[in-house]
Structure 1
C-alpha cells in the first residue's frame, strides 16, 4: 500500500511515528508486527485493519497436498507453523506397504502418534508388524526402529510429529 501511494519509508514513518528501519523490517518479514503498530499503520495508510492484513491469495486458507511418488505418500500439512514444543500435524495418504529391512527402519528421539482415518496401516516396530485399522491409533517410542505403510490398498492417517519425527517422516516437504 505504501508503494502504491508512491510513499517512501520516510514518508510513511512520518505519518505513523514508527522508524523507517522498523517499517522496513515489518515489510520484509524480519519483524513481527503488534496490534498497536497495525492500528497506527492502518490509520496512516487510510485503510482498515481488515484490508491491511488481508491476504492477496488463498495460501492462508488452502492446504495443498504434496505428493512423493517414490515413497507412495501424499501429505497435507495441517498447521502452518509448528505448535507447542515444535509439534506438527499432518494428514497422510499412504499407497505403498511398509518396507522391511534395517536400511528403511528409522530411529529418532521422541514419540510418534497417528490415528488411521481409512484403510489399514502396518506399523513395523522393531521385529513386530502391527496392524492398525480405521478408527484405531498408535503411539510409540521412536527409539525403536520403525516404519509404516498401507496394507491391501491406500490408507489415510492423521499424525502428530515432534521435530525429529517431522524430519524423518515428512522429510520430502522440507
Structure 2
C-alpha cells in the first residue's frame, strides 16, 4: 500500500465484505461490537475514522484476526513458483505461504527419481509424522526394510522415526504433502 489512506479504504472494504459474506446486517454486527449502527455505517463508508479499540471487536465479531483485517494487500505472494532440485529429482511448489497450525507446511512435489534402496544408507529419520497423497503416477515409499507402492488416489501417513524415503516408481509422480517443521527441513531443503 502506498499510503495509509489506501490501507484504511482496504480495511473498510474488508469489514463490509466480511459482514455481508457472513449474512450480518449493520444492526447485527453493530450489536456484536457494542457500536451504534450509525457509527458502523460511517466506518464502512469512510465518514468516520476507525480506531484500534473498534478494530479488535470488529475482527472478533467477523471471525477473523486483527492482523488479517489490517494486513496490506500485495500481489507478490499470488504466484507460486516451483523450486527444482536436480540432485533429488524433485520439483516443489510451497502451497502454504506461512507455516500453518503447529508449524505444518503444505507442498506439491513432482518426483522424477526413484527412492533409494532400503540398504543404501540414504534413508532419513526425523521427529513427527509425514503425510502425502499421490496425485498422479506411483510413489515408492521405503519404510525401514519395507517398500510400499502408493498409487494415484491413495495416501500414506507414517512415523518419521522409522528410516524412510520416497521417490517415483515407473515414471514421474506428483504428490500433495503435509509436513511438520522437521519434515519440511528434511524433504524440502537440500
Q: Smaller-chain TM-score range? A: 0.5 to 0.7
* TM-score, normalising length: structure 1: 0.67
* Aligned counterpart in structure 1 of residue 93 of structure 2, from 64, 70, 76: 76
TM-score between both structures, scaled by the size of structure 2 = 0.62
Question: Runs in 1 of length 4+ with deviation above 4 angstroms?
Answer: none
Partner of 1:167: 185
Once the two structures are superposed, the pairs formed by residues 43-54 of structure 1 within 5 Å of their partners are 53-54=72-73
Aligned residue pairs: how many?
126
In 1, the alpha carbon distance for the partners of 2:52 and 2:92 equals 37
Structure 2 unaligned regions, length at least 5: 4-50, 56-70
When you count strand as a share of all residues, which structure comes out higher?
1
Which residue in 1 is equivalent to 2:134?
Answer: 116
Partner of 1:126: 144
SS of 2:149's partner is strand
Kindly provide the CA deviation profile for residues 87-112 of structure 1, in whole angstroms up to 9, marking residues without a partner as x. 00000000000012453100011000
Match of 2:170 in 1: 152
Q: Provide, for residues 76-133 of structure 1, a one-character-per-residue CA deviation record: whole Å limited to 9, x for no partner.
A: 0000100000000000000000012453100011000000000000000000000000
Counterparts of 1:29-108 in structure 2, within 5 Å, are 36=52, 53-55=72-74, 58-100=75-117, 101-108=119-126
Q: Quote the RMSD (CA, aligned, Å).
A: 2.1
More helix as a share of residues: 2
Residue in structure 1 matched with residue 67 of structure 2 by the alignment: none
Structure 1 SS opposite 2:183: helix
Corresponding position of 1:8? none
| Cα drift, residue 54 of structure 1 | 3.2
